[in-house]
Each structure stands twice: as structure tokens, then as C-alpha cells.
Amino acid sequence: MIKSLYISSSSGCFELQNDLPFYNDTEYDIILNGETVKTGCRENVFSLFGLKPHTTYKIEISISDEAFQFKTLPESCCIDVKAFGAKGDGKTDDTVALRTAIACLPKQGRLYFPAGTYLSAPLFLKSHITLEFAEGATLLGSTDKAVYPVIPGTAADLDKACDIPFATFEGEERTMYQSLIHAEYAEDINLIGRGTIDGNAQNSTWWTDFRDDPIARPRLVFLNRCSDVTLHGLVIQNSPSWQLHPYFSEKVNFYDLSINAPKDSPNTDACDPEACSCVNIIGCRFSVGDDCIAIKSGKIDVGRKYKTPADRHTIRNCLMQFGHGAITLGSEMGGGVTNLTVNRCIFNSTDRGLRIKTRRGRGKDAVIDGVLFENIKMTDVLTPIVMNMWYNCCDPDRFTEYVWSRDKLPVDDRTPYLGKFTFRNMTCENCHVCACYCDGLPEMPIEEITVENISFTYSPDAKPGKPAMRNYAEEFLRGGMYFDNVKKLNIKDVTVTGADTDPLIAKNVGKINNRNLICTK
């Protein structure tokens, strides 16, 4: 009934084993060592904090007779940041105190932030440490752009005559401002607690004065070529741009986080793993101004240079609210995206559920394959499934004929590929624009799409819109399932209720296996 996701020296994250999206069907209480510590819980993922290091605990929940035993990890020490002079009053600049405390912290040490507001410039993390933010503790980013160091996209290795990568933005190795929480070439880092990391961009010029700056905006948390990093329990909010950005990293975990930004804030994606492997995003809540999760692997030059796909990502028991896409692949996916599993999630009021963004020019290494969505509930999502190989944003060639031409062009080193996609056990209520919109290239059709045990209904107040960002896109209103340039389409036990168009619109589809498509008004 209970599975352990993560155990640190002072916290634990746990998951109920069921097939329900995000919430359990009944409330439950949490009992720790015989004492009730939480009541009226509903979420499938829950956390405990304030535990003692190297200690055995027994956990139970009121709706099960099973007991689960776990042991917290040992640690070398736990140090209060105020021992190094941090004030936490929200007015004093605590940067020097925090940087000194991190630098001095021993291996396997924990740096503890008690309740308070710690105003700071960017911080560099090192390996083998834990930062714990207590409930009521906020790390608050400075609004002064001048205190954010500039980091080069690459720097020359004077011995080996090659470049060493350090910084990036939107799929390119590019000079950027240092992020508030920043780590490079590090391992075994833990950021935990019920506190908050706040980029404070709402009180700065990061969201208003960036288009002409040649230096890319910082993220809130940036991890370059790191491994074994976990963020657990925190509130992450108001980043200058993307909130969480692991880059060419592996074994990265995001557990029981709340990630927030205003709906109109620019490029404030919640979590954008780029060219990473083994990323777990479990039990998190999202409400941001752009994509909730955007899985990336660089633009064509980065894809060609490193040939590193985003691989083996798991997204489970998450709640996505608002945002352009609940889960987006691309558009910077020059290295490909493989082996993605999305399970037991709720998408509320996002523009799209799954959103694939690619186009000619992303390259032959831009392969997306092995994508599974199951046990998903969507409500008021404009278009639940969008697979768009004609994406027309972000690059200088976006409006060229090469991007928009519907002619069958030659397949070459610039041509991307979409492989096999499976969507099953989903309810999609109150759709507006389309049930799904899947548009491949004539020279490189989408390989195979399976939709199984899915129901689509439409909002009575639906408004027309364009399901995908592409040149010359047409509007839909309560559109059915639209497929163009697909090699193989499998439909089984799908219900479309209330579409204004034909429930199935299939153009240039090689083979259709249609078993029990039910259409009602």
C-alpha cells in the first residue's frame, strides 16, 4: 500500500500504490511510531519532515492494516545558517553568510534554514550536502541584476584545445546570468523542507526587461552535468525564467514540490529537464505562466555535438493547473526524447495535455519515441493531445517556406522523427478546441499512435482556437480527433461526445485499426 520514494537524514517521501490520478478515493490519517501526525490526507504522495538522522521509524495509514518501516540516513552534522551570521530578516543581504556556510559545510552535512526570509544573490552548491528550509523559511532572490554573475556558455580548456560547457538557454550553449541555486559538475545534493525558494522576479525587471539583453536570464535552480540530486517538499516560485532546469544531468528527483508563477509571466516553465537521464517528477503541483513540464535535449547544434537524448523520465501523481502545456516535449529536442512514462496525473485548465513541438530543422537525432500516457484525468484542457511537427516559434527561420511547406520534401540531416505513442485509460472533460491534433510531416509521418479507453467531452462554453502553433493554422471548435501524416493509427474503446466536426478526421494515414469508436451527440 505504501512505497518509499525518498529518504534523507531528516525527511521521507511516500506514495500510495493505486491507479488513481493524484488523489486517493478516501481520506486517510498518517501514523508515525504509533502517533497520528497528519489527518484528512487525500493526495497519493505525502511527506514527513523533522525526523532524526539514522533512526528507524514505522509508518501506517488509517485505511490499511499494513505497516512500513524505514530508516533515515546518517549525516556528519546539522548547522544553523545563523551560526554564520545570516539574519533572515528579509532586509539584510545574507549572501556572504550563506556562501560561507555552504563552503564550510562538511561532507554529508546539513545546512538548516530556520523560519525567516534570507535575501541573497546567487549561491553555488557543492557535492555531498543537504540544504533544509524549514516551514516559514524563504530564500529570496535579489532584485539587483548587478549581483548576478555572468557565466560563459563555454570556456576553452587551455590544455586540451576544446570547449568546456557551463551555461545555456533555449537549447543553445549561451552566456547566462548565474541562477539563484546553481550547481556545476557536482553530485549528491539534496534540497529539502517545507520552505520556499523565491526568485523574486515579480519585484524586479527580469520579466519586463530581457528581450534586448544578450545575456540569458537565470533559472531559479540550474544543474549542469550533475548527478544524484533531489528536491523534496519545497515551494519553488517566481523565477526570472524557467524554474527548475537540470541540464545534461542524471538521476535527478523532484518529489512533492509546489511550483508557481503568475499565468502571465514570460517563459516561467516549471520544470525543464534538458538532455538528462533518469528524471523522476512525482507528487508535484504546477501552476505557471508557460509549460508545466518541458522535456528538452537542445537545438540541432547541441543535438549533433553531444547526441544525448532525454531518456528514462517518469512523471507520476502530479497536478498541472494552467500553463501552455501540461507536459511538453521540445521544441528544443535536437538530441531526442525516449522512454517517457506519464501516469496517474491530473491536468486542469492547461492549453494542452501532451504537447509535442518539433519541425524541420531539428535534425535526424531529434527522435521522440517510446511515450506512454495512462491513467490521466484532464478537465478544461483546450486540446488534450497535440503532436505538431510544424512548430513555428523561437528561431529566425520560423516563417520560412522550408518550415511551412506542405509538400513532401527530401529527408535529410535536418528531418526529425516521431515514433510510437500510447495513450490509454484517460478521461478528457470539457475540451474546447480539439480532442486531439496530430500533424506529421509528409516526408516523415508519425510512426504509430495508439488511443485506447479514452473518453472526450466538450465544454458547453467552448471557444474556438488553434490547437497547434504553426504557420497558417486553422481554427477548430469542438473538433474531433484529427490525424494527418501518420503511418499507423490504433483506436480502441474511444468515446467522443458532442463534437461539432466528424469525430475522426484522418488524412494521409497509412493504416487505421478502429475497434469500437463510439460517437454521441
Just list the catalytic residues.
Answer: 290, 324
Task: Please name the residue ranges forming H helices in 146-288.
Answer: none
Using CA atoms, how far apart are residues 183 and 297, in angstroms rounded to an integer? 19
Residue with grid cell 520534401, as numbered in its chain:
409
Residue with grid cell 493531445, as numbered in its chain:
385
**Three-state secondary structure call for residue 298:** strand
Q: Tally Cβ neighbours within 10 Å of residue 113.
A: 25
Q: Any residues with CB less than 8 A from the CB of 400 and at least 6 apart, and which?
A: none
Residue 95 φ then ψ, to 5°: -55, -50
Residue 202 φ then ψ, to 5°: -65, -20
Residue with grid cell 509528409, as numbered in its chain:
442
Selection from 142, 137, 232, 235 nearest residue 180 by Cα: 142
**Three-state secondary structure call for residue 428:** strand
End-to-end CA distance of the chain: 41
Q: Yes or no: say if 26 and 7 are a contact pair by the CB < 8 Å rule.
A: no
Q: Tally Cβ neighbours within 10 Å of residue 43.
A: 17
Joined together, the cell numbers standing for residue 214 give: 544578450
CA distances to 155, 348, 360 from 391, rounded to whole Å, are 32, 24, 9
Joined together, the cell numbers standing for residue 386 give: 497535440
Nearest 5°: CA angle at 142, between 137 and 146? 160
Using CA atoms, how far apart are residues 197 and 515, in angstroms rounded to an integer? 49
DSSP class of residue 143?
A: S
Using CA atoms, how far apart are residues 63 and 363, in angstroms rounded to an integer? 52
Question: Within 13 Å and on the Cβ side, how many CA atoms surround 400?
Answer: 10
Residue with grid cell 545546512, as numbered in its chain:
111
Residue with grid cell 520579466, as numbered in its chain:
207
Selection from 389, 243, 372 nearest residue 330 by Cα: 389
